[in-house]
Amino acid sequence: MQLKEKVIFITGGAQGFGRGVAEAVLKKGAKVCIADVNADLGEATTRELQASSGPDYVLFVKCDVSDATVFEDAFKAAVSKFGHIDIMCNNAGILDERIWEKQLEVNFGGVVRGTMMALNHMRKDKGGRGGVIINTASIGGLLPSFWFPTYAGSKSAVNHFTASWANNPDMKSAEVRFVSICPSGAETGLLESLQDKILNYDHFKQFMERSKYCRVDQVVQAFLLAMEDDTINGTAITIKLKEGVQKVKMSLVPIE
Cα–Cα distance for residue pair 89/12, rounded to 1 Å: 9
Sheet containing strand 235-240, strands side by side: 58-62, 31-36, 7-11, 87-90, 131-136, 176-183, 235-240, 244-249
Active-site residue, 151 included: yes
- The residue annotated as part of the active site, out of 57, 151, 201, 213, is 151
Number of Cβ within 10 Å of residue 185's Cβ equals 19
80, 84, 86, 92 alpha-carbon torsion, rounded to 10°: 20
Catalytic residues: 151
